[in-house]
Amino acid sequence: MNEKYARGPSFVFAKEYVIKTNGEQIWDAVLKRLPPEYEQVWRGTLLISDDFPFQAFRDMIKAWSETTGAASNEATATLYGYIADRSLSSVYRFFFKFAQPALVLKNFPKLWARFFNTGTVTVPMAEKGHAVIQFQLPEIFQGWLEPACYGYSKKAIEMAGGKNVKMMPSGKELLQNGTLKAAYELTWTE
């Protein structure tokens, strides 16, 4: 699958994170684990304004996790949090600083659109210390979504002053006709 579902910031800042935290040698080792066509994507010019194959992003995260032993949700959440943090403009930072975490999560669909150009993301409920985020995405996101949702939303909540963020699935993931449906419940303290 070569659908270009991932936006440039996901690629630019994931690469930056791996090199910054693990070094060029680990980055090179990660890339060597990828299929040649995806290794070529990562070694090419990565622009924030471009879209890239989601599978190349997903495979790189998996290769990085295997190379460094960073397989837990917390470890990958740190990477996704870094991507979110580096991607936000000063206007977003200002909004996050003065908004309550629930308000920030109500705007999660806009945050999602900064990183991915597919799927439907809704927040049917967000109140003090509690929110639910629902996703309808292409099947390719299955198995990747949970740690990514945790990382991106945890960073958003923390930037808005929330602490002790926890996330759990709200029901089972469903896969119907190539569409993944999933929901996650988030809790935090303020």
Tell me the per-residue pLDDT of 8-28, one tens digit each, with 9 for 90 and over: 999 999 999 999 999 999 999
Residue 138 has pLDDT above 90, yes or no: yes
Instruction: Say which range, 9-13, 33-37, 56-60, 151-155, has the weakest mean pLDDT.
Output: 151-155
The span from the CA of 123 to the CA of 24, in Å, is 39
CA 122 to chain centre: 16
CB 79 within 8 A of CB 17: yes
pTM of the full predicted structure?
A: 0.86
Instruction: Say which range, 6-10, 47-51, 94-98, 166-170, has the weakest mean pLDDT.
Output: 94-98
CB 111 within 8 A of CB 122: no
Q: Tell me the average pLDDT across 35-58.
A: 96
Residue 96 has pLDDT above 50, yes or no: yes
The span from the CA of 177 to the CA of 75, in Å, is 32
Tell me the per-residue pLDDT of 103-123, one tens digit each, with 9 for 90 and over: 989 989 988 998 999 999 999
The span from the CA of 120 to the CA of 181, in Å, is 10
Q: Tell me the average pLDDT across 87-99.
A: 71
Mean model confidence pLDDT for the chain: 91
pLDDT band at 1 (very low <50, low <70, confident <90, very high): very low
Tokens of 41: 């994507």
CATH of domain 91-189: 3.90.1520.10
Q: Tell me the average pLDDT across 31-52.
A: 97
Top-ranked range on mean pLDDT: pick from 19-28, 64-73, 143-152, 174-183:
19-28
Matching residue, tokens 């602490």: 163
What are the boundaries of each domain within the chain? 6-71, 91-189
Smallest Cα–Cα separation from 158: which of 90, 82, 89, 87?
82
CB 105 within 8 A of CB 131: yes
DSSP assignment of the chain equals: -----EEHHHHHHHHHHHHHHH-HHHHHHHHHTS-HHHHHHHHS---TT-EE-HHHHHHHHHHHHHHHT--SHHHHHHHHHHHHHHH--HHHHHHHHHS-HHHHHHTHHHHHHHHBSSSEEEEEEEETTEEEEEEEEEGGGTTTHHHHHHHHHHHHHHHTT-EEEEEEESS--EEETTEEEEEEEEEEE-
